[in-house]
Structure 1
């Protein structure tokens, strides 16, 4: 490779470094905002969950087993019923293995239940996941399309979508709903979490704990439960959404950081080769001049 070609490659690598560095800084800013939003929703979620559990503690287990939102045993769900997997992916790429971890999990679920393939439904919050589902020709849930098209990560936007999910669950179009998302264990490690959304599992409740209070509820316990449960589910979905967003921005930041480092290393090697080629050219020219002078002397 001649020095001119190497110089062109160095200029090209310079533009790549500037681009990846800019994308890294953008991801850092977005990550900071995402962390702040996640912190607020976690605080709010803890209060809603505490209020929800305090209310449930006053109810008998027998009554809850009859409640439309609960089920005591997951194994009692018939395998022939439809299960919805709500997956959280990104709208854009360049975020390392963030999306591929989710895709691998979906493929494993399909492989394990190959004979029940037509019973599993999927829906992706994120264009990359939706493209994957269409490409693989998996069953896709006919949810709220406006939610996906114009989604801007606002709390109000999840309300209508959760309302649709609850409606389909209560009308028995779907037997159960699971959330599948990337959980950030630390800055360098993510794991895919599959968490039951509906029906609400009894595992979050503690019936052995005795309630020492018996509040007077108005207008009635049933009406309050019917109000607080959708609120609890809405907060849970939104918190999961922000956790996924937090993982995405972290993955993209790390990916762009590594890309910048790799591009810088390539640039160093190119500069080294450029200097070698330039030195070789100069040495060659000096030798030619010396040879010419020697020829003139003779």
Structure 2
């Protein structure tokens, strides 16, 4: 570190500008986190009720030996991982923890390197995974409802063609404001739901026009809401991670600033002391003469 007071002063000014930037980014992340969390909770509430209705509907079909529907059966195609990452950095271990999880998944026996393909929602994930693994499709910019619907149609089409055997969602789940957990959730095929109405009277639904047609209609709706919910949850976790990261950055910058101020005062005091000693020395030499 330079001992020149002017250099230290310049560093203090630059650190102050960093603190203003990180503090502003923290406040922006706080606002965005609250908005995205509210949207996420509304979508989750809606999805929970749809899945409850769907589970009751499916429970009536479990009396049959098999459910003859493609949504419930896998094939010998490739396994697709839909990975949710951020478009920008400065969010701590939000992205790196997902990449570590993917490396762990690929070390398992039933997930081979050649049999897995990836689709990324977020530039950071695409930049990292496209260099190492096979990609399902290019990056989709500005992910929204229309693009979610388009993606769902494409996924279902490839799943029915047996190009894809199963689909998994990999994303950050926000447990609380300080803790995030990486979730690997099966998206397709749909698990055969066990009878959730064991303690209730069995319901006999009258289904028109047919069971399969109703299932084929309702499942894409559920998949759409589930993908939208996952995206919203990942976005909430991203804003929260960035808020925490910027808060820590502000604290670290404040510590550096305090150390610099202390060093600046020491150097300034040393300079003043030297000047006083020089003046005294000059006066003594004049008196001797």
Quickly name the TM-score band, shorter chain normalised: over 0.9
For residue 107 of structure 1, the aligned residue among 103, 107, 110 is 103
Corresponding position of 2:116: 120
Corresponding position of 1:295: 285
Q: TM-score, normalised by structure 1?
A: 0.90
Cα deviation, residue 27, structure 1: 0.5
Q: How does 1:147-166 map to 2 (within 5 A)?
A: 148-151=140-143, 154-166=144-156
Cα deviation, residue 64, structure 1: 4.8
Segments ≥4 residues shifted beyond 6 Å: none
**Does the alignment pair 1:140 with 2:135?**
yes
| 1:60-81: CA deviation from partner (whole Å, max 9, x where unpaired) | 354653221114xxxxx67x63
Which whole-Å CA distance do the structure 2 matches of 1:207 and 1:39 have between them? 23
Q: How does 1:1-298 map to 2 (within 5 A)?
A: 1-60=3-62, 62=64, 64-71=66-73, 81-113=77-109, 116-136=112-132, 138-142=133-137, 148-151=140-143, 154-202=144-192, 204-206=193-195, 209=198, 211-298=201-288
**Secondary structure of the structure 1 residue equivalent to 2:137:** coil
Q: TM-score, normalised by structure 2?
A: 0.93
Q: Give the number of the structure whose residues are more often helix, by fraction.
A: 1
| C-alpha spacing 1:284/1:231, structure 2 compared with 1 (3 Å) | same
| C-alpha spacing 1:6/1:192, structure 2 compared with 1 (3 Å) | same
For structure 2, list consecutive stretches of 5 or more residues without a partner in the other structure. Answer: none
Please say which of residues 24-33 and 182-191 is displaced more in the overlay: 182-191
Which whole-Å CA distance do the structure 1 matches of 2:268 and 2:60 have between them? 83
**Secondary structure of the structure 2 residue equivalent to 1:86:** strand
For structure 1, list consecutive stretches of 5 or more residues without a partner in the other structure. Answer: 72-76
Which whole-Å CA distance do the structure 1 matches of 2:64 and 2:141 have between them? 42
RMSD of aligned residue pairs (Cα, Å): 1.9
**Secondary structure of the structure 1 residue equivalent to 2:216:** helix
Tell me the number of residue pairs that the alignment of Structure 1 and Structure 2 aligns.
Answer: 285
Which whole-Å CA distance do the structure 2 matches of 1:16 and 1:61 have between them? 65
